[in-house]
Structure 1
Amino acid sequence: MASGTTVSRRTYLAALGTAAVGGYAGCVGSATESVFVLSAGSLASTFDDHVAPAFEAETGITVHGEYYGTNAVMRMVEDRTKHPDVIVSADATLLRDRLYGEFTDWDVEFATNSLGLGYHESTSVGRALDAGQPWYEVVRGADPGEVAISDPDLDPLGYRAVQAFELAAREHDLDGFREQMLQRVYTEPEEPQMMAGVESGSRAAAVVYRNMAIDHEMPFFEFPDAYNFSDPELADHYATATYTTDEGYTAAGRPIIYNATTKDGADNPDAGRRFVQFLADNPAILDDAGLTVTTALPESNGDPPGAIDV
């Protein structure tokens, strides 16, 4: 298996994204109202299979979802190549750093997640993990390209994988572990392809979010709290690991928090606000999809419009 990035960031951004259009539960003969949601790729199944059907049943508004790495989502909004009603990020700080001021001035945090390894149990890597061998020894001993990560220049999932390698190196006294892993992993710019590779066994494992493994009914080895980015009380510790993207954005490690906002000048801002409110009001749907909604959520930031009640 080949290792390293095989598709450039520019090529990826020029490619068509994954799109999914849900059904409409409205009256016969009436025009279909829709909301365009541009979202982090890790929420594709969560939105298409769980949130969109429930939202459409309640409101009669069709959800049109497109899913990319969050860095790519921010770039599409900034470049005005996409004109969404709702923008959803897998890194709350990234959305605020990139979009506040010009495109929005508020957001709602609605869920959290954790990081670990999704794996194929029939591979040597999967068998070793099931046998209880230390994950870092397993992946360090895997063949080049057997373990995949998302592209850290496109996606918080990718740079969190790199940051996890750095924090794990300190936690377990693994000299040079981050650099070793970056030389050995396969870097995949498209999350669906990464998951498909593990499901087929062409990749043994991938660093993924918990909900992604649940979506694909895949075994999941959750990293310890020290580097799974799930514990808000460890925020200062996570922040000691950083990654700078090829655009020059430096992301410090931080707890995984999903947030959503509507874009100023959106085509259907009312439907967008209803969608954001729906995310805030329905934690059980998100929990069923494998996300975590803590007692601190939902939480608003900035100056939400009056239609948003959090």
Structure 2
Amino acid sequence: MPEDAISVISTPWMGALSAASTMTPRSEPTVTAAAGSAAIISAAARNAPRRRCVPRGSGQGKGPIAIPSWRMDACRETTAKASYRSLPTYDPSLTRRLARKSWQVIMRVATRVAECGGHRLAPRRFSGGAEGCCGTGLNFVAMHLTRQAAIAALTAAGVGASRALFMPGAAQAATGDHLTVFAAGTLAAPLRALDERFERLYPQTIVQPQFGGSVKMVKQISDLHEIADVVAVADYRVIPKYLFGSAGRQAYADWYVGFASNAVTLIYTQRSKYADRITPENWYDLLAQPGVAIGRSNPDTDPSGYQFLLMLELAALHYRLPGLSDRILANAPLANVRDTETELIPALQSGQIDYLAIYRSTALEQGFEYLRLPPQIDLGNARYASLYRRASVTTKNGTLTGAPIVYAATVPANALHVASARSYLALLLGPEGTEVVRRAGLEPITPAFAWAPDRVPVALRSLTRPWPGV
């Protein structure tokens, strides 16, 4: 955070914390948290033109104020009550959502205030693949906050957030558990859908997901000792490699379940080079042509990255073309590499790259044109497991051999909410979770594969079977 951002929030923020520490701990902390969090939105909304809240894509007016992670009732509630001078009281579900967002919004808006000085804050847009706030709730907030209004809002939000998050007894009674989920980026869509279902079943629990490259996410536990209640990865081998413990390293898990399979492919658009000529029979020749731009994820942090490299090695064997991998990778330089492949989808859509190495599930889910690669090379069919093992690649994390793509999950040994984590996995492995996974383009594994089935929690055993070949 810029130094000026710290000065912007330091005095009012510390004052807010001091004031919060003197408040009566049982006097409706989450209502205060909601009000404090809503102050940011309210301050912006008072300066904003009034707009109706309508479902996205409904064709009514110019669409809703963009607050994608909050439901329509949140949008209606804030826009309807923001003009009031007194802070509104929210229903419990909205209160929990606002309290959860407080910390993120406080720090992000403070940074934006510092950067924009005394001017009204303008939204950033995507540029060169970097994350901005275009199309997000922060876009709406930032456009209508001045520096003075932001400081006042941050102070109020600080009081509410500190009361909700730093008073264990009162906050826990009102907001319930916070279930932290670390997951692969390609699981974002299905797990967010699952999160909503889980929160309806267990209204006192808030699911807090974090998505990224699978290797990166598990290293946050094994190397940085961060706490997660559930871990779900895009390559089952990531869990034993980093969480089982070896060479004196701490063990964070001793079992996992495989719940879905996937395959490697490349997606493209009508503006991609050779889009009108590429087929499953000639793709490897066209992708090696000069001028083709290919995007991929980082093989050091993301399974999709090294699985794409394994696929190229298998393709060289399958088509009997030594050096094929090197020729294609010449068109996929480091400038076209991101932590997760989904970060490059805007670059594909804008024509900055022609092809993107990605999972088949994403292609199906988002309706992209994609290559239907032979099962002998796409890592998507367990029947070819012995063939896949003929390929190997080296990353910063060691040498990896080919294997079928199987998504896996576990509950780390240091999880804070073990019972809720097991309930979450039971929902994922059950009929509802299976349907959510299928709709996301993944192939569900039912019953799920279980590694070390005798260590799998009893509540999950009826939903699993022993891992094949073990």
Q: Same fold (TM over 0.5)?
A: yes
Equivalent residue, structure 2, for 1:266: 415
Amino acid at match of 1:95: I
How far, CA to CA, are the matches of 1:172 and 1:253 in structure 2? Answer: 17
Q: 207, 227, 238: which one pairs with 1:83? A: 227
Deviations 1:60-91 (A, max 9, x none): 23321111111111211111353111111111
Q: 170, 185, 197: which one pairs with 1:54? A: 197
How far, CA to CA, are the matches of 1:191 and 1:116 in structure 2? Answer: 12
Equivalent residue, structure 2, for 1:74: 218
Larger relative contact order (Cα-Cα within 8 Å, sequence gap ≥ 6): 1
Q: Secondary structure at the match of 1:128?
A: coil
1:26 shift after superposition: 7.1
Equivalent residue, structure 2, for 1:175: 322
Alignment gaps of 5+ in structure 2:
1-67, 75-90, 96-173, 246-250, 464-470
Q: Are 2:269 and 2:348, in contact at CA under 8 Å, matched by a contact in 1?
A: yes
Q: Which structure has greater helix proportion?
A: 2
- Structure 1 residues 81 and 38, CA, compared in 2 at 3 Å: closer, same or farther? same
Amino acid at match of 1:38: F
Equivalent residue, structure 2, for 1:150: 297
**Identical-residue share of aligned pairs (%):** 24
Q: Secondary structure at the match of 1:76?
A: helix
**Number of paired residues?**
286
Deviations 1:177-214 (A, max 9, x none): 11122222132223332122112222111111011123
Equivalent residue, structure 2, for 1:13: none
Q: Secondary structure at the match of 1:181?
A: helix
Amino acid at match of 1:136: Y
Q: 294, 299, 302: which one pairs with 2:449? A: 299
How far, CA to CA, are the matches of 1:222 and 1:72 in structure 2? Answer: 29
- Structure 1 residues 284 and 154, CA, compared in 2 at 3 Å: closer, same or farther? same
Deviations 1:86-140 (A, max 9, x none): 11111112211221140011111111011111111222232222x6761111211
Q: 213, 221, 232: which one pairs with 2:382? A: 232
Amino acid at match of 1:165: L
Equivalent residue, structure 2, for 1:163: 310
- Structure 1 residues 84 and 22, CA, compared in 2 at 3 Å: closer, same or farther? farther
Q: Are 2:301 and 2:339, in contact at CA under 8 Å, matched by a contact in 1?
A: yes
Q: Secondary structure at the match of 2:315?
A: helix
Equivalent residue, structure 1, for 2:282: 134
Q: 290, 293, 305: which one pairs with 2:441? A: 290
- Aligned Cα RMSD in Å? 2.3
Q: 255, 266, 285: which one pairs with 1:106? A: 255
Residue 202 (str. 1) matches residue 352 (str. 2): yes
Q: Secondary structure at the match of 1:299?
A: strand
Q: Are 1:114 and 1:222, in contact at CA under 8 Å, matched by a contact in 2?
A: no
How far, CA to CA, are the matches of 2:417 and 2:358 in structure 1? Answer: 33
How far, CA to CA, are the matches of 2:341 and 2:331 in structure 1? Answer: 18
How far, CA to CA, are the matches of 2:272 and 2:357 in structure 1? Answer: 16
Q: Secondary structure at the match of 2:371?
A: strand
1:22 shift after superposition: 7.3
Amino acid at match of 1:143: G
Q: TM-score, normalised by structure 2?
A: 0.57
Q: Secondary structure at the match of 2:231?
A: strand
How far, CA to CA, are the matches of 2:70 and 2:373 in structure 1? Answer: 34
Q: Which structure has greater strand proportion?
A: 1
How far, CA to CA, are the matches of 2:69 and 2:450 in structure 1? Answer: 28
The correspondence of residues 175-194 of structure 1 with structure 2, limited to 5 A, is 175-185=322-332, 186-194=336-344
Moved over 6 A (4+): 20-29
Deviations 1:15-52 (A, max 9, x none): xxxxx96779977884243311101111112222x322
Amino acid at match of 1:221: L
- Structure 1 residues 116 and 257, CA, compared in 2 at 3 Å: closer, same or farther? same
| Structure index of larger Rg | 2
Equivalent residue, structure 2, for 1:9: none
How far, CA to CA, are the matches of 2:206 and 2:408 in structure 1? Answer: 21
Amino acid at match of 2:363: A
- Structure 1 residues 213 and 82, CA, compared in 2 at 3 Å: closer, same or farther? farther
How far, CA to CA, are the matches of 2:368 and 2:401 in structure 1? Answer: 29
Q: Are 1:227 and 1:238, in contact at CA under 8 Å, matched by a contact in 2?
A: yes
1:162 shift after superposition: 0.6
Deviations 1:209-239 (A, max 9, x none): 0111233321121211011111111101101
